[in-house]
Each structure stands twice: as C-alpha cells, then as structure tokens.
Amino acid sequence: MHWVTLFLVAAAYAVVWASAAAATKQQSALFVQIHRSLGMTIFVLTLFRLAWRSRARLPGLPADLPPIQIMAARATQYLLYALLVQPMLGLLHSITSGARIDLFFVIQLPAMMGRDKVLSKTAISAHELVAYVMLFVVAVHAAAALFHHLVRRDGVMKAMLPGARF
C-alpha cells in the first residue's frame, strides 16, 4: 500500500501540473478531473491503510537508532498522513466552487454543499500550501530512507520492500 500510494501521489502531482500546461481548457479540465479521482483514491487507500496498520505486525526500527532519529522518523510519518487532510481540502474547494466531481468518469459525487466563494478560495490556498509542504516532507523522508539503506545499512528500507521477512 505504501508503494501504490507513492505512485498515486506522484501521478496526482503530475496530472495537476499537466493541467496547468495544457493547450486547451478542455484538456486542462480533463487533467483536473483525473487529479480529483486520484486524490479521492489516495484518501480511501489511506483510510484502509491506517485500519490495516492498526492490526498489522510491523517491523520495529533498529534498536541502536538514536532517540532523535526515532523522533524525526515518527514526526515525518505523522506529517505524511496529511494524505487524509489534503484530499478533503481539494474536495471542499471543488464542491464549494460548484464543480462536478467525476470519479474516473464513472461515478459522479453528489454536490453535498452549496457554492461558497470565500470557503472555496480558502480551501484551495490551504490545498496549495499543503501540497508544497508535502513535497518537502516526502523529499526529507526519501532522503532518510536512502541514508538508512546506503549509510547505516540497517535493513529499514528492505523491510518496506515486497516479500520482506521480519
């Protein structure tokens, strides 16, 4: 679920940036609609992941890891669960701006709320801010994973790969 999430998050960024660079309004709207669908999928997958995680047997961090690094790892991981907040901000912006949300062009979400210009603008500002904070946190997180793999060589990265035994 971790690596599927990474793929979906990368795709969500890629399509929304592609929408900004699209040649026509129709193309741009299509990319935004795919972005919304990917974002909602990330939300559902993350809920499922947290439920799974609460019952799963997880690999512990290496016993010799300094407390400061344990704290940094935990803080980063909690921040990455902003994956639940971010789609809700996007959803709030889309609904209150009066947009339709076509999940992969198959299911259309009901309107749920009326139009609200102020709320819509606030939600998209927060959505943009969280998007850039998330990019930074993911970069720090990925760099830390590489540090474990290449410098400490302590098996933290291997424990996340499919087929890992612990």
Among 36, 96, 120, 123, binds ligand HEM (CB under 6 A): 36
Shortest distance (Å) from residue 67 CB to ligand HEM: 14
Among 5, 62, 116, 119, binds ligand HEM (CB under 6 A): 5
- When asked if residue 61 is in the footprint of ligand HEM (CB under 6 A), the reply is yes
Residues 6 or more apart whose Cβ sits within 8 Å of residue 134: 9, 79, 80, 82, 86
- When asked if residue 157 is in the footprint of ligand HEM (CB under 6 A), the reply is yes
Among 14, 72, 122, 141, binds ligand HEM (CB under 6 A): 141
Backbone angles phi, psi at 104, to 5 degrees: 50, 30
- When asked if residue 34 is in the footprint of ligand HEM (CB under 6 A), the reply is no
- C-alpha 141/C-alpha 136 separation (Å) is 9
| Residue at token pair 């690094």 | 69
Give the residue with the Cβ less far from ligand HEM, 119 or 131: 131
Q: Which residues bind ligand HEM (CB under 6 A)?
A: 2, 5-6, 9, 12-13, 16, 19, 32, 35-36, 39-40, 42, 53, 59, 61, 73, 77, 80-81, 83, 86-87, 90-91, 93-94, 101, 127-128, 131, 134, 138, 141-142, 145, 156-157, 159-160
